[in-house]
Every structure is written in structure tokens, then in C-alpha cells.
């Protein structure tokens, strides 16, 4: 179920943080419950994906060590788990919130389509990955009463997800070279030059979209202080490009996030700065109650 991949689900909390609901206990509880449901559903998708790709994973230099491909985890047990988890989690999703339940159903259906068909279609495979991230953000919106959440974050999330998806495809293509058809057939429809062009486009677009978000989103401070967080985003993107092109290490964004200290520092500093700016009035009242 790859718990390290659940770091992607942190975007679920976007609405909670940026709609000033972080200190609202009911909203916080709903978001935490929703986050764990999403993690378990996304974990189920990984089980299904590994079952669907077990033979190809066994020919991959890295994926052959995954539990199902290596034989460490029984395929029958994995199949039973892949059936039971959705039967338990989807009703729980609807119990939490009807809109959240439908979004989890859509997410699961989309990921199933990706596992069995769409990941073999060039460009569409990356767009489905991006759609999954947008659903994560939307799911976070659905479990709380949102008043000022900006749709700009959906745009930023889409572009950022495309950036990471194309980066991952590039790294896979670089590593596998002539063995693409044996492990992931869609890679034969890409080449390094094309992926570099796509990465350049979405990287620039992500920075621009985030910059526009910082001074146009309705819930942010009117003094546009959020623009001070733009350099952290620029550095994080440049750092990922550095790892991708110079260190040849851009395969899995989750693994990079958990291992690269400069990237971690940039994200932490961005998070601290963003929270302080968005919640400054509340912080100021706490510091100076008079």
C-alpha cells in the first residue's frame, strides 16, 4: 500500500489551511478522518496496480522488489484486500460527507481505469495523474464548510502534478532505455526531448499560476504578503529539475521528498511562511490581546 506515497495526500489539507479553518476543531477532525480514508483508498489502488502489472514489474530493475512482484506478498491475499477495502471505505466516505463519498468513488474509478487502460495512453496517462491530485484537493474542500477557497489552487495543483508526472516519465525512460516495451509500453511513445519540452512548459506555468494565486485569491491578506512565498516555490521546482537533469534522480517525487534535504527545507519554509501570512491576524491577536 506504499505509505511513503501517502505524502501526496497532504494536498487534501489545502482547503483547511487556506480557508482559515485550521483552528476550527470540527473541520480539523473531519479533515483528519477524510485524510486517512483517502490514504487507505489510494493504498488500495497501489495494490490493484501491482496486481495488474505484476509480470511487467518483475522485469523492471526497481519495481521487481515490490512485495507482490517479488513474491513476498501472496497474490490471492492482495486480491482479497483489493476487494474488501473499497467495500468498507466507500460507505465510510459517504457517511463522512456525501460529496466526499462521490469524489472518492470518482477517484477510485479513475485510478482503476488508469491501472488497466489509461496509463498505456501517452499524454492521457499524465493528465489522469494530475486529475487525481485535483480530486485530492477537492476532497479536502468537500469535508469542511468552505467560504473563501480559491479555484487558483486547482490550477496550480494540476500544473504541479503534470510537472511531476512528466519528470517521472523522463526518469523511467532514461533508466530503462531499450527495455521500455517490456516494463511500461507507454514509454515507447515518449522521448527525452519531448518530455523536456513538456517539463519546461509546465514548470514555467506552475510558477506563473502560483504567483497569480498569491495576489488574486480572495482569502489571502490584502497586502499581498503571500507573494513572499513565491521564491520557495521557484527554488523547489528548480531543485527538482536539478535532481532530474544533473543527478538523474527524478523518478518518484515521494521518494525525493523524503530523501532530499534542500527540497524538504524549501517546502518546510514555504509552509511556515504561508501559515504565518494567512493566519497573521489571528497570531497578532494572540500575541497582543489588547
Per-residue pLDDT tens over the stretch 176-226: 765 555 556 778 888 889 999 999 999 999 999 999 988 887 777 778 899
Of residues 252, 279, 278, the one with CA closest to residue 263: 252
Residue 73 is classified by DSSP as S
Q: How many CA atoms lie within 13 A of 259 on its CB side?
A: 12
Tell me the three cell numbers of residue 159. Answer: 500544473
**What SS3 class is residue 151?**
coil
- Shared domain for 144 and 186, answered yes or no, is no
Domain end residue (candidates: 104, 134, 149): 149
Q: Which domain holds residue 167?
A: 150-290
- Shared domain for 2 and 39, answered yes or no, is yes
Average pLDDT of span 48-76: 79
pLDDT of residue 184: 63
Confidence of residue 73 (pLDDT cuts 50, 70, 90): confident
Of 39-43, 98-102, 105-109, 245-249, the least confident: 245-249
Confidence of residue 7 (pLDDT cuts 50, 70, 90): confident
- Shared domain for 251 and 137, answered yes or no, is no
- Shared domain for 80 and 14, answered yes or no, is yes
Q: How many CB atoms lie within 10 A of CB 29?
A: 12
- Shared domain for 5 and 108, answered yes or no, is yes
- Shared domain for 265 and 239, answered yes or no, is yes
Average pLDDT of span 162-184: 76
Give the per-residue SS3 of 117-143: CHHHCCCHHHHHHHHHHHHHHHHHHHC
Listed in sequence order, the DSSP H helices in 184-226 are: 192-216
**What SS3 class is residue 227?**
helix
- Shared domain for 76 and 195, answered yes or no, is no
Residue 188 is classified by DSSP as G
Domain end residue (candidates: 117, 149, 181): 149
The mean of the pLDDT values for the chain is 86
Is the alpha carbon torsion for 179, 184, 186, 192 positive or negative? negative
Quick check: 255 pLDDT over 90?
no
Residues in Cβ contact with 285 at an 8 Å cutoff, skipping those fewer than 6 apart: none
pLDDT of residue 28: 93
pLDDT of residue 178: 57
Give percent above pLDDT 70 in the chain.
Answer: 94
For the entire predicted model, the pTM comes to 0.85
- Shared domain for 290 and 241, answered yes or no, is yes
pLDDT of residue 223: 80
Please give the tally of structural domains in the chain. 2
- Shared domain for 144 and 266, answered yes or no, is no
- Shared domain for 185 and 102, answered yes or no, is no
Give percent above pLDDT 90 in the chain.
Answer: 44
Q: b/e per residue, 82-92, with b = 16+ CB within 10 A?
A: beebbeebbeb
pLDDT of residue 183: 57
Higher-confidence residue of 274 and 68: namely 274
Domain end residue (candidates: 106, 125, 149): 149
Encode pLDDT of 80-139 as tens digits: 988 999 999 999 999 999 999 999 999 999 999 998 888 889 899 999 988 998 999 999
Amino acid at each position: 500500500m506504499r505509505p511513503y506515497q501517502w505524502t501526496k495526500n497532504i494536498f487534501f489539507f489545502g482547503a483547511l489551511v487556506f480557508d482559515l479553518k485550521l483552528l476550527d476543531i470540527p473541520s480539523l477532525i473531519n479533515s483528519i478522518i477524510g485524510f486517512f480514508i483517502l490514504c487507505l483508498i489510494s493504498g488500495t489502488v497501489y495494490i490493484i496496480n501491482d496486481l495488474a502489472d505484476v509480470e511487467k514489474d518483475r522485469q523492471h530493475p526497481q519495481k521487481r522488489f515490490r512485495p507482490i512482484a517479488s513474491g513476498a506478498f501472496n497474490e490471492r491475499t492482495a486480491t482479497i484486500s483489493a476487494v474488501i477495502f473499497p467495500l468498507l471505505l466507500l460507505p465510510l466516505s459517504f457517511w463522512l460527507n456525501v460529496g466526499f463519498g462521490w469524489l472518492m468513488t470518482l477517484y477510485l474509478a479513475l485510478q482503476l481505469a488508469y491501472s488497466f487502460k489509461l496509463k498505456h495512453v501517452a499524454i492521457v496517462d499524465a493528465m489522469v495523474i494530475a486529475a487525481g491530485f485535483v480530486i485530492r484537493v477537492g476532497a479536502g474542500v468537500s469535508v469542511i464548510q468552505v467560504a473563501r477557497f480559491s479555484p487558483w489552487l486547482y490550477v496550480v495543483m494540476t500544473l504541479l502534478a503534470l510537472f511531476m508526472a512528466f519528470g517521472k516519465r523522463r526518469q523511467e525512460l532514461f533508466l530503462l532505455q531499450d527495455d521500455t516495451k517490456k516494463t511500461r509500453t507507454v514509454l515507447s511513445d515518449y522521448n527525452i526531448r519531448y518530455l523536456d519540452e513538456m517539463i519546461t512548459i509546465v514548470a514555467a506555468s506552475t510558477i506563473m499560476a502560483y504567483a497569480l494565486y498569491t495576489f488574486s485569491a480572495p482569502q489571502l491578506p490584502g497586502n499581498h504578503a503571500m507573494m513572499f512565498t513565491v521564491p520557495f516555490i521557484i527554488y523547489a521546482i528548480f531543485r527538482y529539475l536539478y535532481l532530474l537533469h544533473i543527478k538523474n534522480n527524478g523518478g518518484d517525487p515521494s521518494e525525493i521528498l523524503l530523501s532530499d534535504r534542500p527540497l524538504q527545507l524549501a517546502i518546510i519554509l514555504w509552509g511556515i511562511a504561508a501559515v504565518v501570512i494567512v493566519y497573521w491576524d489571528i497570531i497578532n491577536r494572540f500575541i497582543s490581546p489588547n
